[in-house]
């Protein structure tokens, strides 16, 4: 570090209203760590923000000193874009307040919140908004990429429920964006993946949900996969929107409702959630049990907040992760055959393939209504490579890439950018489809020098 750099950093540290963490500080390694253990980047400066004013200071310092800039919300993104090498990392994890207005069914969420923070507060009032399925996911990153979860068939994508944001642009300007204020920017933020600024607050529409829901798992032997998946594909085409059923195939974790002999064996699990009267829900899910002879099930009425945390033990931080993803409008027999083939050769006990069912309300929004455009998608498949040691990298990444390539002929257009890894920059234009050209023009307007490029980047000179 040159003397000028040292002086500049010292001046920034003196005037910054939050907390600066440098490589020499004891908590540096802890603060720079993110969810995916494959990412080991070392920023020169970490600016831990406490307010929008802090964010303005950090953005201005990065721009004025031509520093690479990254932005951390929950730090859960698979590509690891929250942290950069040698630049400035804006860390917003300390900005995690949630303010609920139960009368207007709206909630203000700060950018450091994780899903569990929001669910806990809004459920005190029997309300919720569509978020993801893992309570430790960051709300900011999830939202900026589109966002979907158990509620999406009923109430749409996360971005469909976003009412307004406060944003710091590349020039250090604070703006509010909504359908009526800076509407072009609001259009791009809803799916634009952090390309247009740093969001300092989100306002969401809330809906009556729970607080208790019928939910759980039905687990089938892997040798019944073809039967189960074929019937799953058919059932999910016509089920009511208040019901959602997802599929995951993996090696069975030691779930207490499964026989011990099944632990560690390949299985097919149906995960379900019904947002309505549990008695009616039981009638609707009864056909699922006839898809095969189940190893066991754990289905019942439980708090929505508990269901939102059900998969947390399988997605803890510290593991190495590599994902590949496709959208599907339908699940053909050929697509299912490829899935079964690769589910039968999982390279790690932590690897899995899941299919998240969306459709319903998510398909009723025009593809050009906002940056997120994949409105024909009924299913999102995630090839979830997950393992423990660097020695397993080649096998696990190779498995994910090979399956992704073999399943591609059966996929539809677009891709879910939150599931794109750091080596998939070539898929960004494909992911956005018909909205990409408009996004490039918007990038030229709000970030012509591409300050915000630690993301699935929309280049202003594309």
Q: What's residue 2's pLDDT?
A: 46
Backbone angles phi, psi at 36, to 5 degrees: -85, 115
pLDDT digits (tens, 9 = 90+) for 237-284: 999 999 999 999 999 999 999 999 999 999 999 999 999 999 999 999
Backbone angles phi, psi at 246, to 5 degrees: -110, 165
Q: Which domains does the chain have, with CATH numbers?
A: 3-91 (3.30.43.10), 98-209+433-446 (3.30.465.10), 212-419 (3.40.462.20)
First to last CA, the chain: 34
Neighbours of 9 (CB within 10 A): 18
Q: Which residues contact 379 (CB under 8 A, 6 or more apart)?
A: 236, 327, 328, 329, 330, 331, 355, 356, 357, 358, 359
**Residue whose tokens read 């994902």:** 323
pLDDT digits (tens, 9 = 90+) for 143-161: 999 999 999 999 999 999 9
Backbone angles phi, psi at 395, to 5 degrees: -65, -45
CA distances from 395 to 36, 80, 179, 406 (A): 17, 21, 47, 16
CA distances from 157 to 126, 153, 233, 419 (A): 20, 8, 21, 15
Say how many CA atoms lie within 13 Å of 287 toward its Cβ.
12
CB 250 within 8 A of CB 189: no
**H or E segment and range at residue 207:** strand 207-208
CB 353 within 8 A of CB 250: yes
pLDDT by position in tens, the chain (length 462): 444 477 688 889 889 999 999 999 999 999 999 999 999 999 999 999 999 999 999 999 999 999 999 999 999 999 999 999 999 999 999 999 999 999 999 999 999 999 999 999 999 999 999 999 999 999 999 999 999 999 999 999 999 999 999 999 999 999 999 999 999 999 999 999 999 999 999 999 999 999 999 999 999 999 999 999 999 999 999 999 999 999 999 999 999 999 999 999 999 999 999 999 999 999 999 999 999 999 999 999 999 999 999 999 999 999 999 999 999 999 999 999 999 999 999 999 999 999 999 999 999 999 999 999 999 999 999 999 999 999 999 999 999 999 999 999 999 988 899 999 888 888 999 999 989 999 999 999 999 999 999 999 999 987
**Residue whose tokens read 């893992």:** 134
Considering the entire predicted model, what is its pTM? 0.95
**Edge-first strand listing for the sheet containing 243-251:** 296-303, 212-221, 266-274, 243-251, 352-357, 379-387, 320-328
Q: What's residue 7's pLDDT?
A: 66
Q: What is the b/e burial string over 43-64, where b = at least 16 CB atoms within 10 angstroms of the residue's CB?
A: bbbbbbbeebebbbbbbebbbe
CA distances from 332 to 230, 237, 240, 354, 409 (A): 9, 12, 21, 16, 11
Cα gap 158→199, rounded to integer Å: 15
CB 208 within 8 A of CB 247: no
């Amino acid at each position: 570090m040159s003397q000028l750099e040292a002086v500049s950093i010292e001046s920034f540290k003196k005037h910054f209203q939050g907390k600066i963490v440098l490589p020499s500080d004891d908590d540096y390694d802890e603060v720079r760590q993110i969810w995916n253990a494959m990412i080991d980047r070392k920023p020169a400066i970490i600016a831990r923000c406490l307010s929008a004013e802090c964010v303005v200071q950090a953005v201005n310092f990065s721009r004025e000193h031509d520093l690479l800039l990254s932005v951390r919300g929950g730090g859960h993104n698979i590509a690891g874009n929250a942290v950069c090498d040698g630049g400035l990392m804006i860390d917003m994890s300390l900005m995690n307040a949630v303010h609920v207005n139960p009368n207007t069914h709206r909630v203000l969420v700060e950018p450091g919140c994780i899903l569990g923070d929001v669910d806990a507060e809004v459920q005190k009032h029997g309300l919720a908004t569509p978020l993801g399925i893992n309570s430790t996911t960051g709300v900011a990153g999830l939202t900026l990429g589109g966002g979907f979860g158990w509620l999406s068939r009923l109430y749409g994508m996360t971005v469909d429920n976003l009412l307004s944001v406060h944003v710091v642009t590349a020039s250090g300007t604070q703006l509010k964006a909504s359908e009526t204020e800076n509407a072009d920017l609001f259009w791009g933020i809803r799916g634009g993946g952090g390309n247009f600024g740093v969001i300092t607050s989100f306002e969401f529409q809330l809906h009556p949900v729970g607080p208790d829901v019928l939910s759980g798992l039905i687990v089938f032997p892997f040798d019944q996969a073809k039967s189960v998946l074929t019937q799953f594909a058919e059932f999910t085409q016509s089920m009511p929107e208040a019901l959602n059923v997802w599929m995951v195939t993996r090696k069975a974790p030691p779930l207490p409702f499964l026989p011990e002999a099944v632990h560690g064996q390949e299985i097919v699990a149906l995960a379900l959630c019904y947002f309505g009267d549990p008695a009616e829900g039981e009638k609707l899910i009864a056909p699922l049990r006839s898809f095969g002879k189940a190893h066991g099930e754990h289905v019942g009425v439980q708090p929505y907040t508990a269901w939102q945390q059900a998969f947390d033990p399988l997605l803890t931080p510290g593991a190495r992760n590599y994902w590949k993803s496709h959208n599907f409008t339908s699940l053909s027999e050929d697509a299912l055959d490829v899935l079964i083939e690769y589910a039968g050769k999982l390279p790690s006990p932590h690897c899995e393939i899941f299919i998240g069912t969306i459709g319903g309300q998510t398909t009723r929004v025009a593809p050009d209504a906002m940056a997120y455009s994949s409105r024909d998608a009924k299913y999102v498949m995630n090839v979830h490579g997950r393992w423990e040691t660097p020695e397993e990298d080649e096998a696990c990444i190779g498995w994910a890439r090979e399956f992704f390539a073999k399943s591609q002929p059966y996929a539809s257009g677009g891709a879910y950018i939150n599931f794109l890894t750091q080596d998939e920059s070539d898929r960004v234009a494909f992911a956005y489809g018909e909205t990409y050209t408009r996004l490039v023009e918007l990038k030229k307007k709000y970030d012509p020098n591409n300050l915000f490029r630690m993301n699935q980047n929309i280049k202003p000179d594309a």
